[in-house]
Structure 1
Amino acid sequence: MQTNLSEHAKTLARADEAESILRSCVHCGFCNATCPTYQILGNELDGPRGRIYLIKQLLEGEPVTGKTQLHLDRCLSCRNCETTCPSGVSYHALLDIGRAELEHRVERPTSQRLLREVLRQVVPRPAVFNALLKAGRAFRPLLPDAMKRKVPARVVAPKPRPAPRHARRVLMLEGCVQPSLSPNTNAAAARVLDRLGISVTAAPSGGCCGATDYHLNAQEAGLARARRNIDAWWPAVEAGAEAIVQTASGCGAFVKEYGHLLRDDPAYALKARRISERARDLVEVIASEPLGVLRTTAGKKLAFHCPCTLQHAQKLGGTVESVLQRLGFALTAVPDAHVCCGSAGTYSITQPVLAEKLRDNKLDALESGRPEVIATANIGCQTHLESAGRTAVRHWIELVEEALT
């Protein structure tokens, strides 16, 4: 695609990257065929190709308005289009660049600014989030239906974690909201890894991975969180931890981006690259181990929802399904398994109408094979799907741990 960046755009830190991505797009439109928002809205500007044109116009200095922002905001960042694209367009990177510049060019309505600031102050802070969640549970009967559905009525309490006893060691991210919403997930992961001869220690807390800030266009704040995490994890990496494990694929996808996002930071480029190289989704660790050690009883009949951050961002589609089948679980077929469920970080809060439509479509597909339970690999997807009050949704590692003999 022919591109002529404005003089201002040429001064942006990622100008060369943006121009390269724009030039790689041949505007074939294959991306629209798999874009969730385009499928629902049928508007060219609510598909990847249209959004690329909007970002091109922005970076070439043409006028932009709140309408431009609306179409970019509606993007889920699911990266389904990247899996589809025959030209290898790095759409998510271009979207980040475009959104950041647009945030400086178009002032948001006060209500949107307030909502985004509240999300940034609450979601990345486990103590604050947990306190508000407890209050929400206490007053759940009094809440409006829309809010009530977002507050889980109960959670599975964690069982004790095994003490470190193996030579092999990994760090595990605790997460921001997962300890409150699904506190047994990391405990179950630690017990399964212990069976495989791998000891888990909680990663020293540098705070949130940075994804929430970054994807709400507070990109410098997100990168600052990334740097704090690198500083917190670095001593353990140097001491021999073989991996930094994430049980939430959304966190994993962002940590694996540290090396790219901080590649021009002289103080952090090398460390960021090494951290990203050691970042592993839980299934990457387990899939490479001798699963015969994990003797399991017959597993439940389940449908697996593969999060976008697992299949499109981390390119691990089919990996969890393979592990579950090897362990004796019966998996039902899921039509259109590549389509986003609508969770997408904070998207279910900032774009609730589209998010609920996508959620209900996804549940129809997941439930079509009549599973006993739905499994997933990301706390955001788990909570979003569960909010419909239909088939129970669990993290897949909890189902594995329950089936161990």
Structure 2
Amino acid sequence: MQTTLADFLRNTPEGEEAKSIVGKCVHCGFCTATCPTYQLLGDELDGPRGRIYLMKQVLEGNPVTESTRLHLDRCLTCRNCESTCPSGVTYGHLVDIGRKIVDDRLEAQGIKRPAKERIVRWVLREGLTRPALFGPALRLGQIVRPWLPQMLRNKVPASEPVAGTWPRTEHPRKMLLLDGCVQPAMSPNINAATARVFDKLGVQLVVAREAGCCGAIRFHNGDHPGGLDNMRANIDAWWPHIEAGAEAIVMTASGCGAMVKDYGHLLRNDPTYASRAARVSAMTRDLSELLPDFTDELHRLAGAVPRDSRRVAWHPPCTLQHGQQIRGKVEALLTRLGVDVRLCADSHLCCGSAGTYSVLQPELSYKLRDDKLAKLQATSPESIVTANIGCITHLQSGTETPVMHWVELVDRMLAPVVAAQAA
């Protein structure tokens, strides 16, 4: 599809990239078949093909309306369309650019988002991305939880999350671990369990305390400069460890992994950070890419599968199966360890969490959650396992069935064996 850029975008990096992406779209419509919002709303403009057409109009300088912004806001950025597209359209990059341009153009016309919406978005950008603020805020939320609106109550754990001990053994093999911004407060056991599993495999996980939010929350919500600053801060925090020989950068939240693997692309025009960003992206590995290399050793170390998790439903997050194109690895590893792993119908579809989407688009988000849970429950699981903190929190808000990170299950299977060996 040919695009003639408007003067304000001509010869700009974002304009040229967007033009290139739109040019790959042949409007075949395969993407609409796997788009969750198109399936819910049945509106062409709430599917990838329609949104690409809207963004093409914006790129060419046509008038931008609040309706344009609404259709782009409704996109989950699940990137299911990228897995389906036969032409290789990198829709995720395009919609990030498109949303920013639309916001800027409307702002220039004096058309602002409603005050309540602006406040919510500011709180999400500033609150979620700062662990020093988010942790105390979460604890306060637990105190007042009974009086919170249902939507907020769903995001606040009923009790204080507890993490197990962090191993202190030094190992010659070292890898970096991104602690993240929300996960340490909402589910601190995920990273602790990961560190314990790697410790038993002879690998020490190191957390660079200066590292923080991966940048996804700001970047995907239109604050590109703030998101890029988060990325630069992480690169600076990790670089001494990389130079000291760290083998990889481990991601336990697939949403963070998808973003960090994109650092090289997003910072490619930054003369100071481009080469380091490319190396960071190349070193980044989701947990599911690393632990399968230790399958035989894990099988040797593992004890019996816990009774409450012998049969699990596996929910692959969109950021894992579509964002990072990783499929089948978790299921294969857990099956090898003796777990009965089941995929639900339409496992390729989003659960509706999608970062801040569940707060900004609650009606659509909860419809997707309820549909996902119904299909997960149809597999008769004793627990649900997934690989992203957003999915865990979102799914758990709608079911009594325990929802956990899959590495926590692996950690529980190793713990009895280690205890027995110590005895």
TM-score bin (small chain): over 0.9
Q: Tell me which amino acid in the other structure corresponds to 1:64.
A: V
Q: Does 1:313 align with 2:320?
A: no
Residue of structure 2 in register with 1:131 after alignment: 136
Structure 1, unpaired ranges of 5+: none
Residue of structure 2 in register with 1:322 after alignment: 332
Residue of structure 1 in register with 2:408 after alignment: 398
Q: Does 1:148 align with 2:158?
A: no
Residue of structure 1 in register with 2:116 after alignment: 111
Residue of structure 2 in register with 1:67 after alignment: 67
CA shift at 1:6, angstroms? 1.3
CA shift at 1:298, angstroms? 2.8
Residue of structure 2 in register with 1:161 after alignment: 166
Q: Does 1:26 align with 2:26?
A: yes
Confirm or deny: 8 A CA contact 2:373 2:399 kept in the other structure.
Answer: no
Q: Tell me which amino acid in the other structure corresponds to 2:231.
A: A
CA shift at 1:165, angstroms? 2.2
Q: Does 1:249 align with 2:254?
A: yes
User: Deviating runs (4+, > 6 A) in structure 1?
Assistant: none
Distance 1:333 1:100 in 2: 36
* Aligned residues with identical type, % of pairs: 55
Residue of structure 2 in register with 1:224 after alignment: 229
Q: Tell me which amino acid in the other structure corresponds to 2:84.
A: T
CA shift at 1:207, angstroms? 2.2
CA shift at 1:392, angstroms? 1.4
- Alignment deviations for residues 269-328 of structure 1 (CA, whole Å, 9 cap, x no partner): 000000001111111110122333432313521001100000001111211111111111
Structure 2, unpaired ranges of 5+: 107-111, 418-423
1:128 is paired with a residue whose SS is: helix
- Alignment deviations for residues 14-36 of structure 1 (CA, whole Å, 9 cap, x no partner): 22211111111000000000000
CA shift at 1:76, angstroms? 0.5
CA shift at 1:155, angstroms? 4.8
Q: Does 1:296 align with 2:303?
A: yes
Q: Does 1:42 align with 2:49?
A: no
Change (3 A) 1:145 1:112: closer
CA shift at 1:143, angstroms? 2.1
CA shift at 1:156, angstroms? 4.4
Q: Tell me which amino acid in the other structure corresponds to 2:93.
A: A
Q: CA RMSD in A?
A: 1.2
CA shift at 1:39, angstroms? 0.4
Residue of structure 1 in register with 2:341 after alignment: 331
- Alignment deviations for residues 108-133 of structure 1 (CA, whole Å, 9 cap, x no partner): 22222111111111001112111111
Q: Does 1:371 align with 2:381?
A: yes
Distance 2:38 2:386 in 1: 24
Q: Tell me which amino acid in the other structure corresponds to 2:282.
A: E
Confirm or deny: 8 A CA contact 2:178 2:212 kept in the other structure.
Answer: no
2:377 is paired with a residue whose SS is: helix
1:9 is paired with a residue whose SS is: coil
- Alignment deviations for residues 51-103 of structure 1 (CA, whole Å, 9 cap, x no partner): 00000000001111110000000000000000000001011111111111111
1:14 is paired with a residue whose SS is: helix
Distance 1:275 1:144 in 2: 40
In terms of mean alpha carbon deviation, does 220-229 or 285-294 score higher?
285-294
Distance 1:347 1:149 in 2: 14
Q: Tell me which amino acid in the other structure corresponds to 2:21.
A: I
Q: Tell me which amino acid in the other structure corresponds to 1:354.
A: L
TM-score (norm 2): 0.94
Confirm or deny: 8 A CA contact 2:178 2:249 kept in the other structure.
Answer: yes
In terms of mean alpha carbon deviation, does 337-346 or 326-335 score higher?
326-335
Confirm or deny: 8 A CA contact 2:178 2:211 kept in the other structure.
Answer: no
Confirm or deny: 8 A CA contact 2:151 2:359 kept in the other structure.
Answer: no
TM-score (norm 1): 0.98
Q: Tell me which amino acid in the other structure corresponds to 1:18.
A: A
Distance 1:75 1:188 in 2: 33
2:250 is paired with a residue whose SS is: strand
Distance 2:144 2:161 in 1: 20
Distance 1:249 1:78 in 2: 12
